[in-house]
Amino acid sequence: MIACGHSLVPMMKLRMAVLSHLVDLRDIPDLQGIEIGADSVSLGAMVTQHELIAHAGLGEAVPLLREAALQIADPQVRYLGTLGGNVANGDPDNDMPGLMQCLDATYQVTGPDDLRQIQARDFYESAYFTARADDEILTRLMVPIPAAGTGYAYEKQKRKIGDYATAAAAVLVGKGFASIAMTNLADMPVWSAEAGAALAAGDREGAVSAALAAIDPQEDMRGPVEFKRHVAGVVPRRAIDRALSRVAGCGLRGRLMSKMHVKLTVNGAAVEGLAEPRTLLIHFLRESLGVTGPHVGCETSHCGACTVDMDGRSVKSCTVFVAQAQGADVTTVEGLVNADGSLSVLQEMFREHHGLQCGFCTPGMITRAHRFLQENPTPTEEEVRFGMAGNLCRCTGYQNIVKAILAAAEMMNAQDTPSSAEGVGQQKVEAAE
């Protein structure tokens, strides 16, 4: 049987599957359709990931499904890739099996004589082995509709767009219950009743610990076991925090809330999450949002590797509490690229003039230089050195960094690039200084 072939065809090319006949399931009406009932959603096994994303009613009834589908592969794969194909073959890399366990879904399988229903939490036995018999096919999936106000999140760490997860976590949390499942951290999806119970009781760290106790990662092309265990600790925390930020109408948030609900704009996108007020902006950006351009260096406000732009001012994010950034507009080096994704003039000049060596200081250096040139679009060399004094570099000797900034200023002025006079303005440095 072939649903769309994105799992099967690569295996056939590698001679890992040798078949004489295939039955294409695409045109069987009973395997299609999305039906939203009062308490549950019925999904045909041949519903595609694209259909999950595009169906407005499903996005309202079970928003976690849409959030996860958006993170699967790429648009071309999602147009053909099916829900049934993703869950039926027991591939531990796939996103939907763990998600279905988190949602407590039920699978309907049909054989020659009868049909039967199997809980998603009982369906997977080991890698590529499931409770489905050889003469059965998965025909429908039934997903309970979470209660109003339920918080949800699907967090996926992957090497690049389109890749399978290094680790992923699905979280539901509401009044009196919580559910946590993880993906690609064992030979089958990992749903932990203990983790859900701990989170429902308000114990976030206990929930993470219980989830980690249930995993069994193996070394592969995505990293060694130690790295996977590290990622497996980060991903559920992010998912839990984001799910809790969406909880409404129950006391769970209050029980966990030594944390605050943070909302800010990062690189033009509105973001939100939970964080203790004492959390530093650099850690919120890197660990909660996955914005890893700013680097953690000295952590004493000296080196400038953590520099970001906040409301038109260069700041060292290692000494800014996330509570101080509430509602702020933050730009990191990732946000300086042009709208088409190409390097900005400043970034291009750093590349052309080799204004970097090991690269550790470079994101903060470029972010600070961006603000400096906004405030002083026609600087002298002395003014560049003065304006960049808060950013340290151990490798370059600074000469090429200064050249890159001066070259960027010249090119931006030649192109009549508008520069704003935001902030207090960069003061001209007198020669006597």
> Which pLDDT does position 252 carry in this prediction?
56
Q: What is the mean pLDDT of residues 323-348?
A: 95
Domain boundaries, the chain: 1-145, 146-257, 258-433
- Is residue 347 over pLDDT 70? yes
Predicted confidence band at 76 (pLDDT cuts at 50, 70, 90)? Answer: confident
Q: What is the mean pLDDT of residues 44-73?
A: 95
> Which pLDDT does position 179 carry in this prediction?
98
Q: What is the mean pLDDT of residues 297-308?
A: 91
pLDDT in tens, 273-289: 888 888 999 999 998 89
DSSP string, 295-307: ----SSSSS-TTE
| pLDDT, the chain, mean | 91
Q: Check if CATH label 3.40.1160.10 holds for domain 258-433.
A: no
Q: Give the SS3 label for residue 316.
A: strand
> Which pLDDT does position 250 carry in this prediction?
53
Q: Are 223 and 198 in contact (CB under 8 A)?
A: no
- Is residue 431 over pLDDT 80? no
Q: What is the mean pLDDT of residues 33-59?
A: 96
Predicted confidence band at 421 (pLDDT cuts at 50, 70, 90)? Answer: very low
**Gap between the Cα atoms of 262 and 243, Å rounded:** 13
Measuring CA to CA, which residue among 284, 286, 289, 267 is closest to residue 322? 284
**Gap between the Cα atoms of 236 and 205, Å rounded:** 10
Predicted confidence band at 433 (pLDDT cuts at 50, 70, 90)? Answer: very low
Overall CATH class of domain 146-257: alpha beta
> Which pLDDT does position 305 carry in this prediction?
96
> Which pLDDT does position 256 carry in this prediction?
52
Provide the whole-model pTM: 0.65
Q: What is the mean pLDDT of residues 235-258?
A: 75
Q: What is the mean pLDDT of residues 226-240?
A: 95
> Which pLDDT does position 341 carry in this prediction?
92
**Gap between the Cα atoms of 120 and 98, Å rounded:** 9
> Which pLDDT does position 416 carry in this prediction?
62
Query: In Å, how far from its chain's centre is CA 253?
Result: 22
Rounded percentage of the chain residues whose pLDDT exceeds 90:
77
pLDDT in tens, 356-395: 999 999 999 999 999 999 999 999 999 999 999 999 999 9
The fold of the 1-145 domain, in CATH, is 3.30.465
**Gap between the Cα atoms of 401 and 419, Å rounded:** 20
Q: What is the mean pLDDT of residues 414-433?
A: 46
pLDDT in tens, 149-176: 999 999 999 988 788 999 999 999 998 8
More confident residue, 421 or 191: 191
Q: What is the mean pLDDT of residues 419-428?
A: 40
Predicted confidence band at 74 (pLDDT cuts at 50, 70, 90)? Answer: confident
**Gap between the Cα atoms of 218 and 126, Å rounded:** 14
Q: Which two tokens stand for residue 144?
A: 């309970």
